[in-house]
Structure 1
Amino acid sequence: MTTPAFELPSIGTGLPQQPTSFVGRHHELREVRRLLGDHRLVSVVGPGGIGKTRLSVRAAEEYRRAFPDGVRFVEFAALRSENLLSQAIADRLGLETRDGPESSADDILIEYLRNRRMLLILDNCEHLVEGVAALASRLIEETSNLRILTTSREYLAIPGEYVFHLPPLPTHAGTGSGAVELFANRAESALSGFELSDSNAEAVRRICQRLDGLPLAIELACTRLNVLSVEDLAERLDRRLSMLTVSARGRTPRHRSLQATIDWSYELCSETERTLWCRASVFADSFDLAAAVAVCSDDVLSEDEIMEAAAALVAKSVVVRETSQDGVRFRLLESIREYGWGKLNVPERRHMNTNLLEYCAHIIEESTASWYGPEQLARATAVSINRGNIRAALHSVMNDPAEPALVQRAADTLGASRFLWACGISVREHRMWLTQALDLPGVSRTARGRILTVLALVQTLQGDRDAADFTLRRARELAGDREDPVTRSFAVHITGLRDFFAGRPDSGMAYLDEAERGYQLYGSEPELVSMLQIHRGMLLCSTQDVSSAAEAFNRVFTKTDEIGELWFHSYATYGLGHVALLENAPDTAVQRALEALRYQREFADPIGKTVMADLLGWALAAQGHGARAAVVLGAASSMWGSIGQQLYGADHWNTLRERAVHTARRHIGTSAFDAAWARGQAMTAPELLAYIFDEDCTGDEHPVPDRGRFTRATANADTSQLELLSPREREVADLVAQGLTNKQIAEKLVLSPRTVEGHVEHLLRKLCLSRRTEVPRALFST
């Protein structure tokens, strides 16, 4: 099979890339650092445009080395529901959450963060302040070392919160003024060759004072320098602010400053640019040019005009241009987005929400239609990078179901989205939207039946079998034998999966057989047939019918390989690895598990990664790699706990897990096993994959190790925690033991000092050490 051309975004810090340099705020940076040392919850508060987000990002960049478990930046501007606050944080942490009485999203977060020394930055909290306050309060109360930094126009008002009111930039005369420094920096970007001089210094100072040192207002004003001199700019601002002061006496001076600057930017835009500005405000997250055309164009605004207007708005600093592995995307700052949205009347807003829903529905439907083919990963990526916009579109329908056609469109889309949970929309969130869709008025019987079958699949994957049983009964009643026979067959299929996971293989197989006959009779989509074969193979493994299981997996493996499909191929590869393990061929099982994970890591599918990691742990234990097996099994156990029941509660798989745990513990001893298991349990899915494929914590990727590392030939070397280190980390550890500094190690290994610093931090964590002086003892005591 060919190498995938697309990748879903990896789970990283989430810190946004800034298109311009950071200017001033050095005193504020020092103050934030001091506050984070003394307080566990710090809220940076101030009006829109004062630079709260910029300061928090810079603080995270400068101080993240002080947090051994990392920094995570979570943007809340795109959220419209307090129900998704925990999910948004879990997404950034790479965690999967589930509904049900056993655990909530909050519980999963707390369990993960309980003992971690991490900085969590929650950005743009003002529109969800009550929900953020409740969540932050619980996180602080039930964790020991977590630090939280929030940015908001309104503070949370909870015990333990230290409120840091971010002041405007100082506007006094001279180059030492933060406001003047920012103006000079941005003016040089807008007008090449601009320099602060004695002749223009007074006008610059007056501009900064009139704008109250508000960074966003200053940046917007600087874009006018391509047509105005500094003196003209100062004079015009004087007139504008005087008029606004008269017409808006109820507003604070800084609010008037920003309002005046955005008003002026708006007035200086062409009619076409204004139209795009207002319409693009419907996007809650970033968007590309194709999205802007699909959502914003009509007879008034053509595709060519959108391209020209977008370029002009970028030049005017109204729209931010971002470049990433997903290509060029655009984003509106929240203050500017709110301004544009406020310019639309209610009918116009509804029209734009309708367009956004249509665009998002199309993305989801394209993913569904391409799920069994070579475009699968590209379409899954499109869903993932538009997650914020999809949330906004669905939220608009759920909260304003006044248009029947719009409601039906959303219901039809969700009823067809069987694999949305593997495209960046988590299992929990997928379940939430499906549940809410069932409450929408006027949804057709067919759509309701399809929504119910997808909901039953999600509930079954979560291990919530009681809820799934109720949902399946309703689904079969609505689908019937004639109304929607394929949906009814799918409901029967999921009933078989539910019985299989519940430990009833005979009835499970009977239902799968019935579903397969229905698929053949009514001509179902090929992905349903492949899914059924994967489930059949898993069930046959549990009954020790190894040859029949291999036949089922091979059928999917061959067909998917022929067409370049990746997701089902990863499950078929996993299945063949499971067969190999049952046939006492652990080397083959390891190779199959690694291969499956290489495919699976491209998708945001927690179920696949977990079941494949478990297989890898079983096979590593059978090879004699006790420490590596313990890490992988510990991580898989933690991941299962956040999804649902361990190994779906299946006796066969739990027996294999227990056998692998016993084998690994016997190889390395209880103490080493417990330490390795704990290390694994603390890992997120991305961290586990980085460990499996020997990628360091700084993101530098090394080649996948020779599979010989996992063979019996090296089993005898697996006697301590040292095997937890990657080859590069062991190399760095040897040099640390010799007394070399990070700079000397960097020169010797031709790495950057920062990369070496990351290696050292990572190996200290793996070896449970607090100081580098302890490394020699750890290396040479075994």
Structure 2
Amino acid sequence: MSRNTVRRALALESAPGDRRGTQRTLYDANESAIKRELRRDPEIAVRDLAGALGWEHAASTLAKYAARARTELTAEADSERSEVAASSASPHASLPRFATSFVGRDTEVARLRSLLGEHRLVTITGPGGIGKTRLASHVGREVRRAFPDGVRFVGLAGLLSPELISQAVFEGLGLAGRDQQGETAEEALLEHLSDRHILLILDNCEHLIDACADLVHLLLQGTTNLRVLTTSREVLAVPEEFVFALAPLQVSAAGEERSAAGVGSALALFESRADAVLSGFRIDESNREAVRRVCEHLDGLPLAIELACARLPVLSVADLAERLDHRLDLLTTGNRAAATRHRSLAATLDWSHDLCTSEQRVLWKRASIFTDGFDLAMAEEICTDADFTAARILDAIMTLVGKSILIREERAGAVRFRMLETIREYGQGQLDQDESRDLHLRLLDWINGKVSELVAAWPGPDQVRINAWFRVNRANLRSSLKWALEAQSDVAVRRTGAEVVSEPWFLWAGGFSVREHRLWLDRAAAAVTDPEGRGRVLATMALVQTLQGDRHGAAVSLDAAHRLATDAGHVETLDFVEHTRGLAAYFAGEAEAAEPLLLSALGRYREREPRGGLRSALDVHLGMLYAYKGQADESRRHYAEVQERGVTSGERWFRAYAEFGLGAIALAEGDADRAHQMALDGLAMIRDFDDEIGATLILDLLGWVESVRGHGERAAVLIGSASKLWGAFGKQLYGSSHWVQVRERYAAAAEALLGESSYAQLYADGAAKSVSEAIGFALEEVSDRPAPAARTSAGPLTKREQEVANLVAQGLSNKEIAARLVLSPRTIEGHVEHVLQKLCLTSRTQVAQLIGSATGPTAPWPSAG
């Protein structure tokens, strides 16, 4: 609970007495129903409200309760807007948002709040469709104030590989790039979560139960304040776990007299969902018994109730109950060994399936091949045949959306569709072995075609669009690759899977992270045996290893790729191997060995223009090499060629690297302002991609530039960010000792300006940022405060704020200041924020400098050469 709740409780002169029989109890009993009616009609008259509720008490009492409920709803709306604003600033931190209201479960919510205070791990278990995800999300929203470092939700339903769980949690927490020096994702998670007070919600763990259990146990053992809430059909079975078995929604007994406010939670859910499809629907004496029968036969399962309500546009409640009675009886008799709730859900799904036309059933089962959604074009390409043509897909999708089988979602102006996991699993159960294999193969072939399109378009204007497609379809890529690379009996399928991950050498910037790309390449290398296919996989593997700074691994892969490509006579792979050998030699500091290899590869590329823009990549690498050798004009020539190609073709990714290179040359030549502008331009381009390497490289350069420009605070933050981000995917700065030494000189200059303590604090602030946060800081999008030159004096501060500012200037933390002034840390946080806003400052260090009238000594700025 929040500190304010505790504070109000402690302020009471005496303990609150038994509230039963008081007016508060009457309000408590009717609160949900009153608020429900006010949400439907905020201006409803008291008389109409009384009629809707079946109110039997004084109208004046109801008027008072309505006013109170309106006030509380307004406060809830304000809180919701604040949360949306916070979520937009930190997209990884947001909880799922649902189009429908949360109904019932008050007892379960209260119990889970209590359990999270007593146990570090709570698992919500229950059958599919019982509402585990919805309850966990709602509880997370309810308790968020009790976790100062946030509530984070990570959905695992679309993840099929146990090896990727840590990476999924890593990305779901917005921590991409927060580990260090090649640490694993698990080590990075432990480092970040070690002392943070966070609630981590892991949703849908059952299909990866062992891996989830191992990760959760590891995190709990290595942290102090972490709380974990999981949802799963199966318990994790780890020592720290408290299992919360979620029961169905309560259904009132037949003939029981209840007011609208006292309707059982299952009936309340039915009423809410029925109102969504039949505006104005209410449970009254004419339909209460039929609704009760429906909910009772569905065992109070939320998913089953929602699916049943979707039929109300064509069936009365009585018809619904009658048809459902018949179908349930048949299915229960046919499978007495199944759990009751499973039988009920299966009955609901079977019945929904029976109500579909033959075409709708075909689309239901075929669309179940998609993981985490699909768009219309995907369905038209993969789910059609001679009898079920693409022209009929749109109508079928529309009807399945109307039947609540498909959920329509809109992201960035594009419409996608998905199924709840239970519904998707049901659809997959309708596929026979041959149908399933055919659909998997069609999906794989279509993805391979998309990859080929991506490779061809990469040096052109469609880079961003196609990259966005891959981003939204990562789950489909993962499931398709998993199926392909495990198809041990089919050589052709395994080879296609290998092509998907090896042909786009830049897939780590267009779809997967560097680490995940390497994981799939490892699998492909183990699955493919033909010389040409395996040679291409190992050549791409060598490039990824080189970028990670794994020189030994890259050397082994390059030797094997060269041998296989020679045996197969595959000259394109041989060209790529020579290019990568040169790059690896450069990063190893062997410039004299690197130059002839890179120049030879350039000659090969001029003879046989490679796909995927490899020639521009090679020009970037030659530009870096010549800058290292001090040949600025030659370096500038190669970067300029990349720029010229980019402007002509409309591509942006290679141009971003060229802007970095030209900025680095300008910095070495003493033109820090030009270097700063070019680095900003490059960063603005690279942010449109998933390229953690390019973004981190430019952030590093910006840190060096800010050091030379005398902006020590920004330099420390940027260098701290870049240092941590490099560790997310490999060694610092490609494992190049030369680049590391360059950074160290600029970092030392910034530290000399700020002092060791201040530099360390700002460096740590930068290290705590995710990629998106660091880019926002670098582009100065995180604050609209004036630049330091526009700062004012401390005059506007209140007496308390001046007191806090003086303590900040002394280097005290918020917790230390709170103890000194006998105030709460939250109050001090507010005072510090006001101080920064009034003084137009961005950091605590600047407060110290302003109050102490301190100016750092001029530092002897080193050059990059």
Q: TM-score, normalised by structure 2?
A: 0.80
1:350 to 428, 434, 437: 437
- Separation (CA, whole Å) in 1 of partners of 2:799 and 2:560: 65
User: Cα deviation per residue 1:539-592 (whole Å; 9 max; x = unaligned)?
Assistant: 222222222212211111122022211100110111111111101111111111
Contact 2:125 2:246 in 1 (8 A): yes
- Name the structure 1 match of 2:276: 189
Residue 467 (str. 1) matches residue 553 (str. 2) = yes
- Separation (CA, whole Å) in 2 of partners of 1:66 and 1:367: 46
- Separation (CA, whole Å) in 2 of partners of 1:613 and 1:274: 52
Query: Which stretch shifts more, 122-131 or 518-527?
Result: 518-527
Q: CA deviation at 1:695?
A: 4.1
- Name the structure 1 match of 2:583: 497
User: Cα deviation per residue 1:438-478 (whole Å; 9 max; x = unaligned)?
Assistant: 2225x432222211111100111111110100100111122
Q: CA deviation at 1:239?
A: 2.3
Contact 1:626 1:718 in 2 (8 A): no
- Over 3 Å counting, the alpha-carbon distance change for 1:768 and 1:656 in structure 2 is farther
Q: CA deviation at 1:640?
A: 1.4
Contact 1:623 1:715 in 2 (8 A): no
- Name the structure 2 match of 1:772: 830
The one-letter amino acid of 1:235's match is E
Query: What secondary structure does 1:72 align onto?
Result: strand
Query: Which stretch shifts more, 403-412 or 492-501?
Result: 403-412
- Over 3 Å counting, the alpha-carbon distance change for 1:642 and 1:770 in structure 2 is farther
Q: CA deviation at 1:111?
A: 2.2
- Over 3 Å counting, the alpha-carbon distance change for 1:734 and 1:199 in structure 2 is farther
- Over 3 Å counting, the alpha-carbon distance change for 1:411 and 1:424 in structure 2 is closer
Q: CA deviation at 1:240?
A: 2.2
Query: What secondary structure does 1:278 align onto?
Result: helix
Contact 2:588 2:737 in 1 (8 A): no
The one-letter amino acid of 2:107's match is H
Query: Which stretch shifts more, 70-79 or 560-569?
Result: 70-79
- Name the structure 2 match of 1:422: 509
Query: What secondary structure does 1:73 align onto?
Result: strand
- Name the structure 2 match of 1:55: 135
Q: CA deviation at 1:356?
A: 1.3
- Name the structure 1 match of 2:341: 254
- Over 3 Å counting, the alpha-carbon distance change for 1:367 and 1:267 in structure 2 is same
Contact 2:180 2:188 in 1 (8 A): no
The one-letter amino acid of 2:533's match is A
1:35 to 115, 120, 126: 115
Q: Which residues of 2 match residues 546-561 of structure 1 at below 5 A?
A: 546-561=632-647
User: Cα deviation per residue 1:175-204 (whole Å; 9 max; x = unaligned)?
Assistant: 332111110111112223322211111211
The percent identity for this pair of structures is 44
User: Cα deviation per residue 1:96-149 (whole Å; 9 max; x = unaligned)?
Assistant: 479999532222222232233322221111011011000110011112222221
Contact 2:179 2:187 in 1 (8 A): no
- Separation (CA, whole Å) in 2 of partners of 1:640 and 1:328: 35
Contact 1:570 1:595 in 2 (8 A): yes
- Name the structure 2 match of 1:408: 495
- Name the structure 2 match of 1:761: none
Residue 233 (str. 1) matches residue 313 (str. 2) = no
Q: CA deviation at 1:13?
A: 2.9
Contact 1:624 1:715 in 2 (8 A): no
Q: Which residues of 2 match residues 412-561 of structure 1 at below 5 A?
A: 412-441=499-528, 443-480=529-566, 483-525=569-611, 527-561=613-647
- Name the structure 2 match of 1:632: 718
State the aligned residue count: 724
1:568 to 654, 657, 664: 654
Contact 2:180 2:723 in 1 (8 A): no
- Over 3 Å counting, the alpha-carbon distance change for 1:318 and 1:639 in structure 2 is same
- Separation (CA, whole Å) in 1 of partners of 2:448 and 2:591: 37
- Name the structure 2 match of 1:73: 153
- Separation (CA, whole Å) in 2 of partners of 1:773 and 1:99: 32
Residue 126 (str. 1) matches residue 206 (str. 2) = yes
- Name the structure 2 match of 1:210: 297
Q: CA deviation at 1:91?
A: 2.3
Query: What secondary structure does 2:92 align onto?
Result: coil
Query: Which stretch shifts more, 109-118 or 478-487?
Result: 478-487
- Separation (CA, whole Å) in 2 of partners of 1:687 and 1:777: 23
- Name the structure 2 match of 1:92: 172
Query: What secondary structure does 1:167 align onto?
Result: coil
- Over 3 Å counting, the alpha-carbon distance change for 1:768 and 1:577 in structure 2 is farther
- Separation (CA, whole Å) in 2 of partners of 1:309 and 1:380: 29
Question: Structure 1: where are the runs of 5+ without partners?
Answer: 1-8, 697-701, 723-730, 740-766
- Separation (CA, whole Å) in 2 of partners of 1:663 and 1:98: 24
Query: What secondary structure does 1:226 align onto?
Result: coil
- Separation (CA, whole Å) in 1 of partners of 2:389 and 2:552: 52
- Separation (CA, whole Å) in 1 of partners of 2:827 and 2:768: 16
Residue 26 (str. 1) matches residue 144 (str. 2) = no
The one-letter amino acid of 2:681's match is E
Contact 2:181 2:727 in 1 (8 A): no
1:141 to 214, 218, 221: 221
Query: Which stretch shifts more, 233-242 or 290-299?
Result: 233-242
- Name the structure 1 match of 2:779: 693
- Separation (CA, whole Å) in 1 of partners of 2:458 and 2:826: 43
- Separation (CA, whole Å) in 1 of partners of 2:109 and 2:239: 24
- Separation (CA, whole Å) in 1 of partners of 2:527 and 2:180: 22
- Name the structure 2 match of 1:4: none
- Name the structure 2 match of 1:748: none
- Separation (CA, whole Å) in 2 of partners of 1:736 and 1:233: 66
Residue 320 (str. 1) matches residue 407 (str. 2) = yes
- Separation (CA, whole Å) in 2 of partners of 1:327 and 1:393: 22
1:376 to 437, 442, 463: 463
- Name the structure 1 match of 2:22: none
The one-letter amino acid of 1:505's match is A
Query: Which stretch shifts more, 581-590 or 27-36?
Result: 27-36
- Name the structure 1 match of 2:751: 665
Q: CA deviation at 1:46?
A: 0.8
Q: TM-score, normalised by structure 1?
A: 0.88
- Separation (CA, whole Å) in 1 of partners of 2:102 and 2:798: 38
Query: What secondary structure does 2:190 align onto?
Result: helix
Query: Which stretch shifts more, 534-543 or 650-659?
Result: 650-659
- Separation (CA, whole Å) in 2 of partners of 1:337 and 1:247: 23
- Name the structure 2 match of 1:5: none
1:307 to 383, 394, 402: 394
- Name the structure 2 match of 1:750: none
Query: Which stretch shifts more, 61-70 or 261-270?
Result: 61-70
Contact 2:448 2:499 in 1 (8 A): no
Q: CA deviation at 1:716?
A: 11
Contact 2:251 2:292 in 1 (8 A): yes
User: Cα deviation per residue 1:339-358 (whole Å; 9 max; x = unaligned)?
Assistant: 11011111111111111111
Contact 2:486 2:494 in 1 (8 A): no
Contact 1:411 1:447 in 2 (8 A): yes
Query: Which stretch shifts more, 614-623 or 772-781?
Result: 772-781
RMSD: 2.8
- Separation (CA, whole Å) in 1 of partners of 2:800 and 2:449: 54
- Separation (CA, whole Å) in 1 of partners of 2:93 and 2:753: 36
User: Cα deviation per residue 1:316-370 (whole Å; 9 max; x = unaligned)?
Assistant: 1111111111511111111111111011111111111111111222222221111
Q: CA deviation at 1:54?
A: 1.0
Query: Which stretch shifts more, 101-110 or 545-554?
Result: 101-110
The one-letter amino acid of 2:743's match is R
- Name the structure 2 match of 1:46: 126
The one-letter amino acid of 1:489's match is D
User: Cα deviation per residue 1:76-99 (whole Å; 9 max; x = unaligned)?
Assistant: 112221111112112223444799
The one-letter amino acid of 2:333's match is V
User: Cα deviation per residue 1:42-66 (whole Å; 9 max; x = unaligned)?
Assistant: 2111110000111122223333344
Query: What secondary structure does 1:356 align onto?
Result: helix
- Name the structure 2 match of 1:198: 285
- Separation (CA, whole Å) in 2 of partners of 1:772 and 1:192: 45
